[in-house]
Structure 1
Amino acid sequence: MHIHRYNLPQLNADLFLTYTGMETDLLFTQNVDLPGFATFPLLETEEGRAHLNRYARDLIALGKEHGVGVILESATWVANRDRGAVIGYSPEQLIKLNKKAIGHLCESRNEYGDLPTVISANVGPRSDAYAPSEQMNAEEAETYHAEQVAVLAQTDVDIISAYTIAYPAEATGIVRAARSFGIPVVVAFTVEVDGRLPTGASLEDAIKEVDDGTDGYASYFMINCAHPDHFANVLVDGPWIRRVRGIVANASRCSHAELDNAEVLDAGDPIELGGQLANLRQRFPHITVFGGCCGTDIRHMQSIAKNLRNIAD
């Protein structure tokens, strides 16, 4: 079922699942090498494409089982100029692979999907998401990210999803780039154990800054790459919380610094994580998108889906 890019079903009351934990699952549990934490090179081999197919197929199957929609995230999180160059990819190669990533997801949707299935172009930060050493202003960020967004705009993508963004100026630039091409966009901020962005900004202030700098163009905001314990207490009633429509949580309670240095995977407690996300859904029924990030696998996603479905019934 194809979703028109201006008709985003996750903006309604329906539940949607998404998954961004593929990198840690591949690295730690399947021993797949991912230079630069990049998954887009998997598109170049039959074995790599089989891995990507499996994640899409499993998520769609989970959506069917529980009667919820799914958002398929493309393997393009680090497929931008600077981060691609570090692992040897030219801008010309990145253009082809960004397009191929969306085409690959569209094939999965057509093959497996007969439920609401949104194709999301996953866009990541220019530098380290946990510790951005050189911060851009909004104009610089728009110019930088417009290169990748321009390519994605030529595909059948439904929405641009900027994941693991650490400071509001970069988010503002990404939103402006998407707006210039008329594509819906969401921003997922990452937070530290105190519920604040790595640069110290509060979620409320970061969302307000992006909305003020973009005339509120973003379709919604999300939180990703953090455990619910890190941010649940900063989610309070107020106008800004209405802009948060998605939570894609880590399995681990570790800080970002601890995760960076980890040599083994901390998968946390899948059952507990599902319950925590369901509790947040009960507190904030307008939040419709839920999923797993670092350290999660199909067990966590099953628990999330089951717990969400239970409170919906």
Structure 2
Amino acid sequence: MAQKRPFLDAIKNDILLFDGAMGTEIQKFDPKPEDFPDGKDGFNDGLVLTRPEWIKKIHRSYLEAGADCIETNSFGSNKLKLDEYGFGDKTIEMNKKIAELACSVASEFTDKPRYVIGSMGPTGFLPSSNDPDLGQISLEKIREAYALQAEGLILGGVDALLIETSQDILEVKLAIEGAHEAMAKTKKIPLIANVTLDQYGKMLLGTNVQAAYTTVSDMGIDVFGLNCSTGPIEMTSSVQWLDEQNDLNLLVVPNAGMPENEGGHAVYKMTPEKMSDALGDFLSKYKKVRIIGGCCGTNPAHISALRKVIDARK
């Protein structure tokens, strides 16, 4: 069995490959309301309770495609999101179970080290905004929502925490604080903070990449990243700027191109070959990029193509 180095040692020596999209892979099972806990349609994270074999199959498919890291199916499992489905009081328990499931699949693969990354997505609130519905929430509630989630993921055995698809930089700060709070109760593990930028290089509320990076880079995070919203091409100028800081290691996990609207659905058309060419170019030009992978619209074929790009560099 391959000796598993600590996650941060691994990214010093190798480019690590993350997995692809989870939500679109779940849709391929054509889930019905009765597949979800209490019939709560769309409660994807809850499938760990009712359809764990689906989630295992998705994790397995990405590991078979060559991913070094799989993300837990916990994108919407902070307490505020779980409250919407009536599971908020089980936040720690849910996240622990989700992490344990991912770890059990990762342990099936003994050819090389495989890492499990605890996914922490947005709360659905925008604490920086004046929106009467999305902005009026106490900062402590958001911090606590993430602290409980992080605690569950750490107890479940994840190798690192990933704050991802973040659209409000204040929420990112609160998530980082919550993660540190959880680590103080459990154990210290690496922390990755991602932001999501539009094609003009700005977060939803207008924060540019420079301001976002400056805000969180000294908050005890180990990796700064960009994920979702756009394809790799639209990320180029932001990745270039981040690389020039020559500071934190970087994660780049784009969508399979910009979304196109077809019949009211977002469709992503960037092929595995085009995506691997673009990210391979990043790896050649930007030395701080140590983690790549795929977000919306990507599947095991995209991850397999990215594996080939990384292996060709060895």
Residues 202/3 of structure 1: CA separation in 2 closer, same or farther (3 Å cut): farther
Report how many residues are paired: 295
Residues 288/84 of structure 1: CA separation in 2 closer, same or farther (3 Å cut): same
Q: Structure 1 CA distance, aligned partners of 2:170 and 2:60?
A: 35
Q: Does 1:178 align with 2:179?
A: yes
Q: What whole-Å deviation, never above 9, does each CA across 1:285-306 have from its counterpart, x for those lacking one?
A: 2312111110111111122222
Residues 90/62 of structure 1: CA separation in 2 closer, same or farther (3 Å cut): closer
Q: Greater shift after overlay, 104-113 or 35-44?
A: 35-44
Q: What whole-Å deviation, never above 9, does each CA across 1:154-187 have from its counterpart, x for those lacking one?
A: 2322111111011221111121222231332111
Q: Which residue of 2 aligns with 1:78?
A: 76
Q: Which residue of 2 aligns with 1:66?
A: none
Q: Does 1:302 align with 2:304?
A: yes
Q: Does 1:248 align with 2:253?
A: yes
What pairs up with 1:20-39 in 2 under 5 angstroms?
20-27=20-27, 29-32=28-31, 38-39=43-44
Question: Offset of 1:241 from its aligned partner?
Answer: 5.7
Q: What whole-Å deviation, never above 9, does each CA across 1:202-224 have from its counterpart, x for those lacking one?
A: 11210110124x2xx00111111
Residues 148/2 of structure 1: CA separation in 2 closer, same or farther (3 Å cut): farther
Gaps of at least 5 residues in structure 1 are 64-68
Q: Which residue of 2 aligns with 1:221?
A: 224
Q: What whole-Å deviation, never above 9, does each CA across 1:211-257 have from its counterpart, x for those lacking one?
A: 24x2xx001111111211221123325653642521111013128xx
Contact 1:23 1:37 in 2 (8 A): no
Residues 84/140 of structure 1: CA separation in 2 closer, same or farther (3 Å cut): closer
Q: Greater shift after overlay, 139-148 or 161-170?
A: 139-148
Q: Structure 2 CA distance, aligned partners of 1:140 and 1:241?
A: 35
Q: Which residue of 2 aligns with 1:152?
A: 153
Letter in 1 for 2:250: R
Match of 1:268 among 264, 267, 270: 270
Q: Which residue of 1 aligns with 2:165?
A: 164
Residues 25/165 of structure 1: CA separation in 2 closer, same or farther (3 Å cut): same
Letter in 1 for 2:15: L
Q: Which residue of 1 aligns with 2:199?
A: 193
Q: Does 1:103 align with 2:105?
A: no
Letter in 2 for 1:187: A
Q: Which residue of 1 aligns with 2:47?
A: 42
Residues 199/3 of structure 1: CA separation in 2 closer, same or farther (3 Å cut): farther
Q: Which residue of 2 aligns with 1:115?
A: 112
Letter in 1 for 2:71: E
What pairs up with 1:198-209 in 2 under 5 angstroms?
198-209=204-215
Classify the secondary structure of the residue corresponding to 1:31: coil
How does the TM-score come out when normalised to structure 1? 0.83
Residues 209/301 of structure 1: CA separation in 2 closer, same or farther (3 Å cut): same
Question: Offset of 1:61 from its aligned partner?
Answer: 2.2
Q: Percent identity?
A: 19
Question: Offset of 1:96 from its aligned partner?
Answer: 2.4
What pairs up with 1:44-63 in 2 under 5 angstroms?
44-45=49-50, 48-63=51-66
Question: Offset of 1:263 from its aligned partner?
Answer: 2.2
Letter in 2 for 1:267: K
